[in-house]
């Protein structure tokens, strides 16, 4: 937990206990406000993430059955600094299987939350991996076979924030001006329970609710000052795509997308946020008078589809109301530049993979097939840049998400200019009906078995998902003889550069100067080792 956040929470707690004795018009006005003050998920500390069925006071005066993590919905916010290790014991206290996935994090294959790694009712398992990627707003959620949609809908999800020094140095709004907004929509019945019983139609379009919760808060509002705010938006809905904007269509700035900060803020008046995606925006309230309020909404939009007219996709819904209660205390400004990113280019791409997204009967397929836990659909050489071309031939939008790597949107057939939300490093891209979206993908974190799938969770659970395997670097054969070493690897593996170092870990790796020769189907390098034996490895170059 950052000091500023801890400070903010303590001050809030103090303010609440003092409320009855205060008589200021501002406090009385706040007490009379309709709806509920925005709640914040607790910060995670400790070792456990315990998932259990329990009840939560979502609406004042009633309780709702939920699947909570450490008793909270959304689950606690995990905060890790780049370079630190993330370790947790996941305890499944449900009466059904469970596995958690760290969405947006580059985790080793057996830590990633593949559905094959789910554990049974009452069991627990440990997760441990170093977080080496740049600062980003990520999240975690259930990824259980055929139960992802219902478990995530009932609450098994939370934020996972990565911080790094480059981001902290930017002077972006912090503390009580750095606000998470986790959007989830629910269908609420007369008993104020979250009904989950998808019909055939819901299976096809995804389960769309008519009540929006922000951080689990219905009719949420937040008291703000006239300063600059950083809002971290996560669309944690099963199927609802949001077109996020203010009712007065004021401009705001996109600072970060799924994989962290953009090179520079991008001014927008609205943006599309599909299930699974995150976006960080900077909002300036300085041109709102104290005493006014401003509504953030999901604006109505055409889905581009034709057939599913019965679905609520694209209907307007309110998100949260901001009450401008005081002059600003902050000094943050919208920075001119943020964080540089390595821009991938089409010329680096070694191949194109086409994924045709189609409706087949009542389900959606990728290249004509449904998910099979046992079938690996394709392999990706470690470190290669590839074009993943998603062609949506159906009438439903599909937010496509890959585990194990990140990408950059290259082209979107419906527009020549990519919208701000397509910029930067992405792990989830929205593919609208009739559209073809091409993404430059690279998997250079961990070899192993991963999935990619539609993040409309009803589509995912009904089989709109594929296994693929990231192939590790080829094995080196090393033969030492008098005065030197011969290192070789198969010629069939392209694009590798031999590097050497004096230590296996802790000292720098340098390219080997000798040119490899093809000898009997193997790249072969003979190297003199005048200063003693060295270590060798292959790197993409």
Query: What is the smallest separation between the CB atom of 69 and ligand C2O, expressed in angstroms?
Result: 15
Beta bridge partners of 357: 366, 392
Which residue has its beta carbon closest to ligand C2O?
103
Site for ligand C2O, rule CB under 6 A: 101, 103, 141, 143, 276, 401, 403, 451, 453, 455
**CB-wise, 209 or 275, nearer to ligand C2O?**
275
* 459 contact, one of ligand C2O, Cu ion, none, CB 5-8 Å limit per kind: Cu ion
- Considering beta carbons, is residue 321 or 455 the nearer one to Cu ion? 455
Residue 401 C-beta: closest distance to ligand C2O, Å: 5
- As a whole number of angstroms, the distance between CA 290 and CA 292 comes to 6
Q: Which does 226 bind (CB under 5 to 8 A by kind): ligand C2O, Cu ion, none?
A: none
Residue 453 contact partner, candidates ligand C2O, Cu ion, none, CB within 5 to 8 A by sort of partner: ligand C2O
Q: State in angstroms the smallest separation of the CB of 13 from ligand C2O.
A: 33
The item of ligand C2O, Cu ion, none sharing an interface with residue 186, based on CB under 5 to 8 Å by kind, is none
Give dist(CA 111, CA 101) in Å, integer: 8
Tally of CA atoms within 13 A in the half-sphere of 235 that contains its CB: 28
Q: Between the CA of residue 258 and those of 102, 262, 280, what are the distances in Å?
A: 13, 10, 9
Q: What is the DSSP code string of 17-61?
A: HHGGG---HHHHHHHT-SSEEPP-PPBP-SSEEEEEEEEE-SSTT
Q: How far is the CB of 49 from ligand C2O (least distance, A)?
A: 16
Which is nearer to ligand C2O, 259 or 276 (by Cβ)? 276
**Least distance (Å) from Cu ion to the CB of residue 302?**
17
Q: Which of Cu ion, ligand C2O, none lies near 456, with the C-beta cut-off 5 to 8 A by kind?
A: Cu ion
Minimal distance, residue 237 CB to ligand C2O, in Å: 12
Report, in Å, the least distance between residue 330 CB and ligand C2O. 33
- Residues whose CB falls within 8 Å of the CB of residue 417, separated by 6 or more in sequence, listed in order: none
Residue 157 CB, nearest approach to ligand C2O (Å): 9
Angle at 254 between CA 249 and CA 257, to 5 degrees: 135
Shortest Å, Cβ 65 to ligand C2O: 23
- d(CA 255, CA 235) in angstroms, rounded, equals 16
Q: From the CB of 27, what's the least distance to ligand C2O, in Å? A: 40
C-alpha dist (Å) from residue 148 to 98, 176, 228: 9, 32, 36
Number of residues that make up the chain: 541
Q: Which listed option, ligand C2O, Cu ion, none, makes contact with residue 141 (CB within 5 to 8 Å by class)? A: ligand C2O
Shortest Å, Cβ 248 to ligand C2O: 33
Specify the DSSP element, H or E, that contains 280. strand 278-284
DSSP summary character for residue 77: B
For the chain, the farthest-separated pair of C-alpha atoms sits apart, in whole angstroms, at 89
**189 Cα distance to chain centroid:** 30
Bridge-based pairing of strands 436-442 and 317-326 is unpaired
Residue 454 binding result from Cu ion, ligand C2O, none, given CB thresholds of 5 to 8 Å by partner type? Cu ion
DSSP of 347-396, one letter per residue?
A: GGEEEEEEEEEEEETTEEEETTB---TT-EEEEEETT-EEEEEEEE-SSS
Binding site for Cu ion (CB under 5 A): 103, 398, 403, 454, 456, 459
The tokens for 160 are 């996972």
Pair 462, 363: CB distance under 8 Å: yes
CB of 1 to Cu ion, least distance (A): 25
Task: Identify which of residues 216 and 276 has a Cβ nearer to ligand C2O in the complex.
Answer: 276
Q: Quick one: 325 or 427, whose CB is closer to Cu ion?
A: 427
Task: Quote the CA–CA distance of 488 and 482 in Å, as a whole number.
Answer: 17
The item of ligand C2O, Cu ion, none sharing an interface with residue 412, based on CB under 5 to 8 Å by kind, is none
Q: Which is nearer to ligand C2O, 154 or 453 (CB)?
A: 453
Cβ atoms of residues 489 and 522 within 8 Å: yes
Name which of 150 and 176 has its Cβ closer to Cu ion.
150
143 contact, one of ligand C2O, Cu ion, none, CB 5-8 Å limit per kind: ligand C2O
Task: Tell me how far apart the alpha carbons of residues 76 and 93 are, in angstroms, rounded to a whole number.
Answer: 17
Q: Which of 465, 472, 490, 474 is nearest to 376 (CA)?
A: 465
Distance between CA atoms of residues 276 and 537, nearest Å = 36
The smaller minimum CB distance to ligand C2O, of residues 103 and 240, is found at: 103
> Of 104 and 180, which has the nearer Cβ to Cu ion?
104
Angle at 397 between CA 434 and CA 379, to 5 degrees: 85
Name the residue nearer to Cu ion (CB basis): 41 or 399.
399
Residue 426 partner contact from Cu ion, ligand C2O, none using kind-dependent CB cut-offs of 5 to 8 Å: none
Q: Which is nearer to Cu ion, 100 or 172 (CB)?
A: 100
- Rank residues 119 and 170 by Cβ distance to ligand C2O and give the closer one: 119
Nearest to 231 by CA among 266, 267, 255: 255
């Amino acid at each position: 937990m950052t000091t500023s956040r801890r400070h903010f929470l303590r001050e809030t707690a103090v303010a609440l206990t003092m409320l009855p004795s205060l008589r200021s018009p501002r406090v009385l006005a706040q007490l009379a406000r309709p709806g509920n003050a925005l709640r914040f998920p607790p910060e995670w500390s400790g070792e456990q993430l315990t998932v259990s069925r329990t009840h939560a006071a979502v609406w004042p005066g009633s309780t709702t059955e939920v699947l909570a993590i450490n008793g909270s919905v959304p689950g606690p916010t995990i905060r890790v600094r780049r370079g630190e290790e993330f370790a947790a014991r996941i305890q499944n206290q449900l009466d059904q299987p469970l596995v958690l996935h760290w969405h947006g994090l580059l985790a080793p294959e057996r830590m990633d939350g593949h559905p094959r790694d789910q554990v049974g009712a009452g069991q627990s398992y440990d997760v441990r991996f170093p977080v080496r990627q740049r600062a980003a707003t990520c999240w975690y959620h259930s990824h259980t076979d055929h139960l992802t949609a219902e478990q995530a809908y009932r609450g098994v999800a939370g934020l996972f924030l990565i911080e790094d020094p480059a981001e902290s140095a930017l002077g972006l709004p912090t503390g009580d001006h750095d606000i998470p907004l986790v959007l989830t929509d629910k269908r609420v019945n007369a008993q104020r329970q979250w009904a989950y019983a998808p019909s055939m139609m819901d299976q096809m379009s995804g389960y769309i609710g008519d009540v929006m919760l922000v951080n689990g808060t219905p009719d949420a509002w937040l008291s703000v000052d006239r300063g600059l705010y950083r809002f971290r938006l996560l669309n944690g809905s099963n199927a609802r795509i949001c077109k996020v904007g203010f009712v007065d269509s004021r401009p705001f700035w996109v600072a970060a997308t799924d994989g962290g900060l953009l090179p520079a803020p991008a001014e927008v008046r609205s943006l599309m946020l599909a299930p699974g995606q995150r976006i960080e925006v900077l909002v300036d309230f300085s041109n709102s008078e104290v005493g006014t309020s401003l509504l953030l909404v999901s604006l109505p939009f055409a889905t581009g589809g034709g057939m599913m007219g019965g679905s609520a996709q694209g209907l307007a819904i309110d998100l949260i109301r901001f009450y401008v209660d005081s002059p600003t205390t902050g000094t943050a400004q919208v920075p001119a530049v943020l964080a540089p990113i390595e821009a991938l280019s089409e010329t680096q791409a070694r191949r194109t993979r086409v994924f045709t997204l189609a409706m087949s009967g009542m389900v959606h397929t990728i290249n004509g097939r449904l998910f099979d836990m046992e079938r690996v659909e394709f392999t990706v050489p470690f470190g290669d840049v590839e074009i993943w071309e998603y062609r949506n031939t159906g009438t439903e939008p599909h937010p496509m998400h890959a585990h194990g790597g990140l990408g950059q949107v290259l082209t979107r057939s419906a527009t020549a200019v990519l919208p701000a939300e397509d910029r930067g490093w992405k792990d989830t891209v929205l593919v609208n009906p009739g559209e073809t979206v091409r993404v430059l993908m690279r998997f250079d974190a961990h070899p192993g078995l991963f999935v990619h799938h539609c993040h409309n969770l009803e589509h995912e659970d009904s089989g709109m998902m594929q296994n693929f395997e990231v192939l590790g670097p080829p094995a080196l054969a090393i033969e030492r003889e008098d005065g030197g070493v011969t290192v070789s690897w198969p010629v069939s593996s392209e694009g590798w550069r031999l590097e050497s170092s004096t230590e296996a870990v802790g000292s720098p790796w340098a390219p080997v100067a000798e040119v490899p020769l093809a000898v009997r189907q193997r790249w072969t390098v003979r190297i003199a080792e005048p200063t003693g034996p060295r270590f060798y490895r292959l790197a993409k170059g």
